[in-house]
Homo-oligomer: A and B are copies of this chain.
Amino acid sequence: MSGEKAGPAYQRIERHLRELIQSGAGRTEPLPAEPDVAARFNVSRMTARHAYQRLVNEGVIIRKRGVGSFVSGHFLERLPVSGVPDFSGWTEGGTNSVVESYGVVSAPAAVARLMKLKKGEKVTRLQRTRSVNGVIGLDVRYMPASIHDQVPPAEIERKSLLVLLRNAGLHIASGELEVDAHSAGPDDAEKLGVPLGHPILQRRLVYRDAQGRAVLVGTSRYPGGQSYTFGFQFQAARSS
């Protein structure tokens, strides 16, 4: 019996919602709406509502009337920008990129949702390290399955993913970037070479095409403590 099928329907939905939250959902955009979840799990709206209500009662999520359900106790500051990001200046200085794994996998639930894929559909998964001045960052990226055959790993070590996606006909029209701080767990400590509990800066990104479908989704983790900074510059359109 697979994990998703075990237990009563409301528990399966609750588990699904917890997985979505774990993977970063419910922050920039609401969690899936109750009717959609009810349809997906083939249950009544009442059953879906029961799962949501349990998470509300536990203080895990809050409902914003007319907007949807969000992770609670979470303070999001977000600056919308209408303009053209210049990805060419993304990273200062020469970075050293090493592909650690690159292949086609079944899309995790949160990735499938963002890429508008069905459960079990395939995506390209990339894991790489990037280093500059001895500072190592760890990237995980999901892209459409077709990218895997179009872009060889040697290219990924030499060029920006955004340039490679564009060359493959995928143009970024919008996106969201989020940054938060956490303490290094065992996985961070091993992969980033820092002590347990070291501050880690994590960036989550979702880049979308003109139809709003995510074509590049992932996280980057870097050791904190002045060695890594993420930022952006904006320049308002001149009225003259």
Contact = CB atoms under 8 A, between A and B. Distances in A.
Contact of A234 (B91, B175, B224, B236): B175
A225 B200 CA distance: 10
Contacts of A237: 82-84
Contact of A233 (B80, B84, B183): B80
B228 A199 contact: no
Interface in A86-115: 86-87, 89-93
A229 B76 contact: yes
A52 interface: no
A133 B60 CA distance: 12
A232 B79 contact: yes
The DSSP consensus for interface residues of chain A is strand
Interface in A43-93: 64, 71-87, 89-93
Contacts of A134: 73
A176 B194 CA distance: 29
A231 B84 contact: no
A231 B182 contact: no
Contacts of A172: 236
Contacts of A233: 28, 78-81, 174-177
Interface of A: 27-28, 64, 71-87, 89-93, 132-135, 137, 172-183, 197-201, 204, 210, 222, 224-238
